[in-house]
């Protein structure tokens, strides 16, 4: 195979080849697999100083050095420290040449790679000397992020929601679920045996009472599940990105979550992290890379997050009170929806064992325990859940003082992980953020 990847053409030889190619009656050819190559024109090691841009030139050709037509893509690898490329792609000219410029920033060393269809990549090593400049990225930024779990509700949260929906999935629900909750609170074999002998007729009779006294019970439970699923999948985060200098003069940052925002029935609810929670939800020593005035890249980092506690907060502070204003948790909501006194009266009459108050108290205790169990399933997520984020945004200098004032059009990617084998992906472009200098 023609070893074009390793061939560097001196400028004088390049000029001769250009003349030869230009005289070809056929002109540039389309690339074909196995017959397309890239060759750097000039030196592959380039020194750029005094803030002056320098041109990179690459020849796209076949094994007979005949020019090819097409687009050559250029990528910058490493930390340019404010340096950039004049373009990310260049179409070849009539001689098969593609050209871009290296725009210097602060002193740095990085690699520029050129790629084209069917050709092996070629690379330049770029050393940026003194004399250039870069936007000042150091300082604190308030980031506002919108995160969407587009692949659905993650496993552990789905389990908790399904537990809630167990109230509605049996033909005789919610009565079957209520009777089971009551029996779970009564340690009496006589009552348990009597109830077993009367089922499923007892379930049907109680269901008629519940449907007549609480017709909205099942739709309400389903609505709670839907609202909880929605906030679990889509939520906002405000955070602080503190950017400084690493010992090698590169950019490094600390990222801390400040608040988490949920929208329920069109109303935004905010959870502000305590000082201890904020410390726990902090990532440090995050490398950043500034590319001219086009991109500030933030490396992937992990933020521990009390995700289950946040969901319980929004359940208790927003979802539940939106249905029953006097209720402050799931258990209290279910007690408000189920008339346990009438349930106790009916069960005492039907079973013939025990006073109505026994079943009334057991009903309240059972509903309270059921609600607490669902919320406990959510809070158990806190010990292992972490948010992994990495992304980039466009830096903006609004007043021309060479300092970044705003980050625009930011996109994250990463995951929300609950355990070593359970995670929900966060994919571009559904994870967005902006930033304002504080």
Question: Quick one: average pLDDT of 87-108?
Answer: 97
Distance of CA 357 to the CA centre of its chain: 51
- State yes or no: cis peptide before 429, omega within 30 of 0: yes
Stated as kind and residue range, the H or E segment containing 419 is: strand 406-419
The CA-atom distances, in angstroms, between 80 and each of 129, 231, 251, 286 are 12, 39, 11, 16
Return the higher-pLDDT residue of 353 and 5.
Answer: 353
Predicted confidence (pLDDT) at residue 21 exceeds the cutoff of 50 = no
Beta strands 45-48 and 122-128, pairing class: parallel
Domain boundaries, the chain: 4-128, 135-438
Nearest to 292 by CA among 61, 67, 128: 128
Confidence of residue 210 (pLDDT cuts 50, 70, 90): very high
Q: What pLDDT does 381 receive?
A: 83
Scanning 340-405, the segments in alpha helix (DSSP H) are 340-351, 356-379
Q: What is the pLDDT of residue 12?
A: 46
Quote the CA–CA distance of 436 and 408 in Å, as a whole number.
9
**pLDDT of 3 strictly over 70:** no
Q: Are strands 251-264 and 234-245 parallel, antiparallel or unpaired?
A: antiparallel
- The share of the chain scoring above pLDDT 90, in percent, equals 80
> What pLDDT is recorded for position 163?
83
pLDDT of residue 161 exceeding 90, the answer is no
Distance CA 66, CA 27 (A): 8
**Residue positions counted in the chain:** 438
Per-residue pLDDT at 10 exceeds 60: no
pLDDT at 22: 44
Does pLDDT of 23 surpass 50? Answer: no
Weakest-pLDDT range from 157-161, 344-348, 415-419: 157-161
Position 19 pLDDT exceeds 80: no
Rounded average pLDDT over 248-263: 96
Q: What percent of the chain has pLDDT over 70?
A: 94
Confidence of residue 375 (pLDDT cuts 50, 70, 90): very high
Q: Residue for token digits 């770029």?
A: 126
Residue 44 has pLDDT above 70, yes or no: yes
Strands (E), 42-157: 45-48, 54-61, 71-77, 84-85, 89-91, 97-103, 108-115, 122-128, 139-148
pLDDT of residue 173: 86
Q: How many CB atoms lie within 10 A of CB 305?
A: 21
Assess whether pLDDT exceeds 90 at residue 61: yes
Query: Taking residues 17-30, what's their average pLDDT?
Result: 62
Average pLDDT over residues 137-152: 93
Average pLDDT over residues 345-349: 97
| 247: CB partners within 8 A, 6+ apart | none
**Which tens digits make up the pLDDT trace of 291-312?**
999 999 999 999 999 999 999 9
Q: What is the pLDDT of residue 18?
A: 47
Lowest-confidence range among 9-18, 132-141, 189-198, 409-418?
A: 9-18
- pLDDT above 70 (res 264): yes
Give the max Cα distance, the chain: 108
* pLDDT reported for residue 394: 98
pLDDT for residue 1 is more than 50 = no
pLDDT band at 2 (very low <50, low <70, confident <90, very high): very low
**pLDDT tops 70 at residue 289:** yes
Confidence at 24, pLDDT banded by 50, 70, 90: low
Q: What is the residue-averaged pLDDT of the chain?
A: 92
Top pLDDT among 164 and 220 is at 220
Helical packing angle, 175-183 and 340-351, nearest 10°: 80
Cα 251 from Cα 193, distance rounded (Å)? 71
**Strand order through the sheet with 71-77:** 45-48, 122-128, 108-115, 71-77, 89-91
**Structure tokens belonging to residue 178:** 């209520």
pLDDT average, residue stretch 48-53: 96
Residue 154 pLDDT class (50, 70, 90 cuts):
low
Superfamily (CATH) of domain 4-128: Immunoglobulins (2.60.40.10)
d(CA 239, CA 282): 9
Decide if pLDDT at 314 tops 90. Answer: yes
């Amino acid at each position: 195979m023609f070893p074009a990847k390793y061939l560097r053409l001196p400028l004088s030889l390049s000029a001769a080849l250009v003349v030869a190619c230009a005289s070809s009656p056929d002109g540039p050819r389309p690339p074909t697999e196995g017959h397309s190559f890239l060759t750097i024109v000039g030196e592959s090691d380039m020194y750029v100083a005094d803030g002056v841009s320098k041109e990179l030139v690459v020849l796209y050709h076949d094994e007979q050095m005949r020019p090819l037509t097409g687009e050559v893509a250029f990528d910058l690898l490493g930390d340019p420290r404010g340096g950039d490329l004049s373009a990310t792609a260049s179409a070849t000219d009539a001689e098969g040449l593609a050209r871009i410029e290296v725009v210097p920033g602060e002193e740095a060393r990085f690699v520029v790679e050129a790629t084209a269809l069917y050709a092996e990549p070629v690379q330049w090593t770029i050393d940026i000397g003194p004399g250039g400049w870069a936007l000042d990225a150091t300082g604190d930024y308030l980031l506002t992020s919108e995160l969407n779990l587009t692949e659905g509700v993650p496993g552990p949260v789905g389990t908790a929601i399904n537990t809630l929906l167990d109230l509605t999935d049996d033909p005789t629900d919610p009565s079957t679920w209520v009777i089971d909750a009551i029996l779970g609170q009564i340690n009496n074999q006589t009552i348990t045996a009597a109830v077993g002998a009367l089922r499923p007729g007892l379930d049907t009779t109680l269901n008629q009472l519940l449907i007549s006294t609480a017709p909205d019970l099942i739709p309400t439970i389903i609505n709670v599940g839907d609202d909880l699923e929605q906030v679990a999948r889509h939520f906002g985060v405000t955070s602080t990105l503190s950017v400084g200098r690493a010992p090698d003069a590169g950019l490094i940052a600390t990222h801390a979550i400040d608040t988490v925002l949920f929208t329920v029935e069109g109303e935004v609810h905010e959870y502000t992290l305590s000082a201890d929670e904020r410390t726990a939800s902090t990532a440090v020593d995050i490398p950043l890379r500034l590319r001219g005035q086009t991109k500030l890249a933030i490396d992937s980092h992990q933020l521990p997050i009390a995700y289950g506690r946040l969901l319980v907060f929004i359940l208790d502070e927003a979802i539940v009170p939106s249905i029953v204003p006097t209720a402050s948790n799931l258990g209290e909501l279910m007690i408000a929806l189920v008339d346990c006194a009438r349930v106790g009266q009916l069960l005492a009459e039907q079973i013939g064992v025990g006073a109505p108050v026994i079943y009334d108290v057991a009903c309240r205790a059972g509903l309270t325990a059921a609600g607490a169990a669902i919320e406990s399933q959510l809070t158990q997520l806190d010990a292992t859940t972490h948010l992994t984020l990495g992304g980039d945004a466009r830096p903006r200098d609004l007043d021309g003082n060479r300092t970044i004032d705003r980050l625009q059009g930011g996109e994250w990617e990463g995951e929300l992980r609950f355990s070593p084998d359970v995670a929900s992906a966060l994919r571009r472009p559904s994870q967005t953020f902006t930033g304002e200098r504080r």
